[in-house]
Structure 1
């Protein structure tokens, strides 16, 4: 996506192909666009129309790559997504869970590299492993959740090999004391209806 595009302009653009339930642009820690986002439609026909219309289109000098998103055809994912009380779009909860269609614009491999081989149960260190996150959690949400504890060097969601969400994130704090405090304050914390499981991370 063009870095100038926000969620509203993304939604306005994709409304050409149907009713947009939600549009999001992924932001970095400083609030700047990372160049990709997602659009959610209530029906597969609208989603496919958007893919046919926008995939390969050049916008502000950048060629869009539009494909089916990670929530498609997964009732359990959509149910969990719809239960997130932090979701401001009530019409998503009104839609049939198995009809909600998500389009992901661009695929980021940074998360895979950062989280690969990382598991819970490590010795005391600056890396935190968090599981049982709502599947709707975005990377920017991690900074909102973990940032108030202390300065974060990096935070990424751990995807499956096929790009599906796992509900797992890895967070690297700059200071060991902040990692300690994170576990103390956020382990078993109810986030979006899910009880977070947080421990020191280890890389196998």
Structure 2
């Protein structure tokens, strides 16, 4: 005899295995349908989104919701480091969008909003934070210390925001032993002009 609760069990298991991935460094002309078509090669895609700015242009990152953890793992293996339209993708689990609710595929997933950064402060990292990035000492490159970051902000959010000021070589958010943000980080610009522009745009 099959009870109602046992009949529901496979559906509950399916919901529990849905996994959302963050996809960074997207080509700016890519839209959600392109993203969905690409990731279908790895498994069943329930939803794909590309984050858009106020001008309706891509911010260069998005999310893909896959039906199972196995599909998500396959997608990471296939597409993390994959060269797509001359850009190398970064694919990883989306911590902010994990464990979607049963109807999460009907509503936009949670996507970090870089412009939500308010009250951040910027100064010389040599006085506040050791910079371990070997590129930071390259000729012309300059790193900025970014303090007072919201704790949900990740390195990709930081990099996407500071690209408005100039070419960013690297962005890092300092993490504690528990893997959670410590509320500060660094952004390394390819030129000093970009770093100065960032200070004027975002300090405070």
TM-score when normalising by structure 1:
0.42
Please tell me whether Structure 1 or Structure 2 has the larger radius of gyration of its CA atoms: 2
- Where relative contact order (Cα < 8 A, 6+ residues apart) is larger, the structure is 1
